Amino acid sequence: MDNLGNFPPHFWKQLEWIEKVTNPVINIIPPALSRQLELIDKLFPPGLCDLLNDIENQQDQLKEAIIALANNGWFVGLSLPLRIQKQVLKKISEYPEQVDSILCDYYESNLESMEQTLITGQPDRSSVIRDIFAGHKAKLYSLTVPTAFAQVDGICVSSEFQGHLFMRPRGSELSQFGKNIIEADLCDYQKLLFSPFMMSLPIAFNMKERESSEVNKLNRHTVIHGESTDYGNRVNSLKSIVLLCYVSEALTKHLRVIPNA
């Protein structure tokens, strides 16, 4: 992770400029677009071609960053503003509590837009989603966390990848959901979004992994099954909501159409 903070200053400035004039949903350029760089260079300021090539070359680092944040319970995807990404990546190793503070402040200031985006992507779950956000605003954190986790499960099972995100077959390092994703034909953007699901993270640790881990982090199993009673706080509530938004963003285009009975 050390090299993530070593991008030259102009790299961040140019990325922030792109963020202002383009949709910030993704910060990578698929390899297929490299053939169009000549055209892009005629339409945008000089040097953009080099910048796009640089971004493409940093895909492994972006993946590493996404996984590093997910390892701390923050499933931020690629839509987090670059200035916030830069802040948290510099602090993730030594000052995780500062990362929590930065991300909590950012996401809490954007709850309205997050709620609307989530409802748009998951209209059948709109009533529960509204309750989750209302619960967080009312500081009913012990209620919002398990409810958000349950909806994450529902979205994953309803997707074409069919499987629980957190539940793993005995002896397996991956959930069936993760295995199905690995075998799927995905574009580069989707692979980056799904990368945390292709490994074991604290939020999905089983009993053996939880016992061997020295770090006490938010875990879906202990929350849902009542083993944990101290998860109800602002940070964990926002982490569960951000995870719900993340899963929805990654899977909205992959939901199965289930006919009415």
More confident residue, 11 or 88: 88
Q: Are residues 68 and 145 in the same domain?
A: no
CA distances from 45 to 7, 14, 40, 52, 55 (A): 20, 10, 9, 12, 16
- CB proximity list for 185: less than 8 A, separation 6 or greater: none
Residue type, 26: I
Q: Are residues 119 and 158 in the same domain?
A: yes
Q: What does the pLDDT read at residue 223?
A: 92
As a dihedral over the C-alpha atoms of residue 89, residue 95, residue 101, residue 104, rounded to 10 degrees, the angle is 50
- Judge whether residue 9 has pLDDT over 60: no
Q: Are residues 96 and 148 in the same domain?
A: no
Among 15, 102, 112, 106, smallest CA distance to 62 is for 15
Per-residue model confidence as pLDDT tens digits over 91-129:
877 788 899 999 999 999 999 999 999 999 999 999 999
For residue 209, the tally of other CB atoms under 10 A from its CB is 14
The residue-averaged pLDDT of 142-159 equals 90
- Judge whether residue 257 has pLDDT over 80: no
More confident residue, 257 or 1: 1
Q: How far apart are CA 120 and CA 166, in angstroms?
A: 25
The residue-averaged pLDDT of 49-69 equals 66
The residue-averaged pLDDT of 13-36 equals 50
Structural domain contains residue 221: yes
Q: Are residues 135 and 227 in the same domain?
A: yes
Q: Are residues 115 and 17 in the same domain?
A: no
What's the token pair of residue 104?
A: 């909590």
**104, 238 contact by CB (below 8 A):** yes
Q: What does the pLDDT read at residue 25?
A: 42
Among 49, 75, 102, the domain-final residue is 102
What's the token pair of residue 258?
A: 């289930």
For residue 107, the tally of other CB atoms under 10 A from its CB is 20
The residue-averaged pLDDT of 50-74 equals 71
Domain count, the chain: 2
Q: What is the largest CA-CA distance in the chain?
A: 59
- Judge whether residue 29 has pLDDT over 80: no
Q: Are residues 81 and 181 in the same domain?
A: no
Structural domain contains residue 261: no
Structural domain contains residue 168: yes
Q: Are residues 90 and 161 in the same domain?
A: no
Q: What does the pLDDT read at residue 254?
A: 47
The residue-averaged pLDDT of 6-20 equals 53
Domain extent at residue 154: 110-254
- Judge whether residue 184 has pLDDT over 90: no
Structural domain contains residue 260: no
**106, 117 contact by CB (below 8 A):** no
Among 102, 127, 143, the domain-final residue is 102
User: Model's pTM, two decimal places?
Assistant: 0.71
Q: Are residues 121 and 221 in the same domain?
A: yes
Q: Are residues 93 and 158 in the same domain?
A: no
3-state helix vs strand vs coil in the chain, percent to 5: 65, 0, 30
Local confidence band at 33 (pLDDT 50, 70, 90 cut-offs): low
Q: How far apart are CA 100 and CA 108, in angstroms?
A: 12
Helices (H), 138-187: 141-158, 176-183
Phi–psi pair at 43, nearest 5 degrees: -95, -20
For residue 254, the tally of other CB atoms under 10 A from its CB is 16
- Judge whether residue 259 has pLDDT over 90: no
- Average of per-residue pLDDT values in the chain: 75
The residue-averaged pLDDT of 170-191 equals 73
Choose the weakest-confidence range: 12-16, 234-238, 240-244: 12-16
Per-residue model confidence as pLDDT tens digits over 194-229:
788 777 788 878 777 777 766 678 888 889 899 999
Among 59, 84, 102, the domain-final residue is 102
Structural domain contains residue 237: yes
Q: Are residues 149 and 185 in the same domain?
A: yes
Structural domain contains residue 55: yes
More confident residue, 54 or 259: 54
Structural domain contains residue 174: yes
Q: What does the pLDDT read at residue 90?
A: 80
Q: What does the pLDDT read at residue 213?
A: 67
Q: Are residues 87 and 124 in the same domain?
A: no
Structural domain contains residue 143: yes
- Judge whether residue 59 has pLDDT over 70: no
Q: Are residues 80 and 128 in the same domain?
A: no
